Amino acid sequence: MAKIYFNYSAMNAGKSTALLQAAYNYKERGMNALLLIAAFDDRAGKGRVASRIGLSAEADIFSSADNVLDHVSRAHDTVPVDAVLVDEAQFLTEDQVWQLAGVADRMRIPVMCFGLRTDFQGKLFPGSAALLALADNLKEIKTICWCGRKATMTARLTGDGRIVEDGDQVVIGGNETYVSLCRNHWTRRDLG
């Protein structure tokens, strides 16, 4: 039976690196992994998954209006898909997570999702909430706070390095925009 895996963490824990490593392992064994990334995440270029350590790969894009089950089915009809790997999975809709469940349950293709659990305000993203509810396997990818403790929260920063407390849930950015903190320092708004 194929499963849905949700690998989650705060920012800068290596989620994209882990996804790219899994994709490489499939390719090395002559198998086809279909990579998906949110259409509006164009930090590495449109339709590209990239890690901070310099690895990258082409990916199909999805928007909130897309049916990912149909997308995977069409791709599978062209070239058999052995696994679906989703980067920035927090941007999936609840319906899309259910569609990915269909990929695993009906198409019998494993689905590996990588994304943030919570936003900069400590609230679940819709895609992450659905994945936490539906995934067969949950795995936290760990990173550290400036104090050395496990970082579980993500803070958003202003251009001058202050912590943002209000605003849109989604603002695309990297190290210049977000920092990972332990819950204690996130609550205290302490950047060290």
Question: Is residue 92 helix, strand or coil?
Answer: coil
Tokens of 168: 């849109």
In a domain, 118, yes or no: yes
In a domain, 147, yes or no: no
In a domain, 94, yes or no: yes
The yes-or-no answer on residue 88 being catalytic is: yes
Range name among 31-40, 109-118, 126-135 with the lowest pLDDT average: 31-40
- At 34, which CATH number? 3.40.50.300
Q: What's the structural domain count of the chain?
A: 1
pLDDT surpassing 70 at residue 172: no
Output the pTM of the full model. 0.92
Domain enclosing residue 25, as ranges: 4-142
In a domain, 131, yes or no: yes
Contacts of 23 (CB under 8 A, 6+ apart): 33, 35, 57, 85
pLDDT of residue 174: 58
In a domain, 151, yes or no: no
pLDDT of residue 83: 98
Tokens of 146: 């400036």
pLDDT of residue 43: 66
Could you tell me if 149 and 17 are in contact, meaning their C-beta atoms sit under 8 angstroms apart?
A: no
Counting residues of the chain whose pLDDT is more than 90, the rounded percentage is 73
pLDDT surpassing 80 at residue 175: no
In a domain, 155, yes or no: no
pLDDT surpassing 90 at residue 110: yes
In a domain, 116, yes or no: yes
pLDDT band at 46 (very low <50, low <70, confident <90, very high): confident
Could you tell me if 126 and 94 are in contact, meaning their C-beta atoms sit under 8 angstroms apart?
A: yes
CA 34 to CA 57: how far, in whole Å?
11
pLDDT band at 177 (very low <50, low <70, confident <90, very high): confident
Catalytic-labelled residue, pool 28, 58, 88, 176:
88
CA 192 to CA 189: how far, in whole Å?
9
Query: What is the residue-averaged pLDDT of the chain?
Result: 92
pLDDT of residue 40: 73
CA 166 to CA 184: how far, in whole Å?
19
